[in-house]
Amino acid sequence: MQASSILLPLLVQVLLTLVLYAALAFAKARALKAGQVDLERRALHDDAWPESVMKISNNIRNQFQLPVLFYVLVIVLWQLGESGVLVQALAWLFVGSRIVHAWIHTNSNYVPARRRVFTIGWLVLTAMSAATLSAFIT
């Protein structure tokens, strides 16, 4: 297994964020066409947009929270040459949790389910942090 394979889940996470931006653009265009936007408030106020737009927008904001730590950890692990099977499995599990989280957030937005998936991702990231720390210690 190549050490650079750890970068693939990172790239998928980046792709998820880019897909969400595209979805946001389409959702905003649909909302504008349907007359669902308060045109005077749209530049500075999120509540000027309908719920369908807000769900995607809020999820994009989430992509710059916990995933930022993921990016840092993956790059550090890759630089340290610590990208074995366990770390790669954890990276894929994290990205999978972010995809499920985005799906829930942009569709039903059922908070208890979203929280459970977020917690899984957080636990995985904690395990990746422990792996990174152990790489520095050993």
Per-residue confidence in pLDDT tens, the chain, 138 aa: 576 899 999 999 999 999 999 999 999 999 999 999 999 888 888 889 999 999 999 999 999 999 999 999 999 999 988 888 999 999 999 999 999 999 999 999 999 999 999 999 999 999 999 988 887 787
Nearest to 46 by CA among 57, 35, 31, 36: 57
In the chain, what's the furthest Cα-to-Cα distance? 60
Which CATH number is 3-137 given? 1.20.120.550
What's the confidence (pLDDT) of residue 44? 85
Residues 6+ apart with CB under 8 A from 3: 78, 81, 83
How far apart are the C-alpha atoms of 107 and 101, rounded to whole Å? 10
How far apart are the C-alpha atoms of 68 and 43, rounded to whole Å? 26
How far apart are the C-alpha atoms of 51 and 11, rounded to whole Å? 29
What's the confidence (pLDDT) of residue 3? 66
Nearest to 96 by CA among 116, 121, 59: 121
| Structural domain boundaries in the chain | 3-137
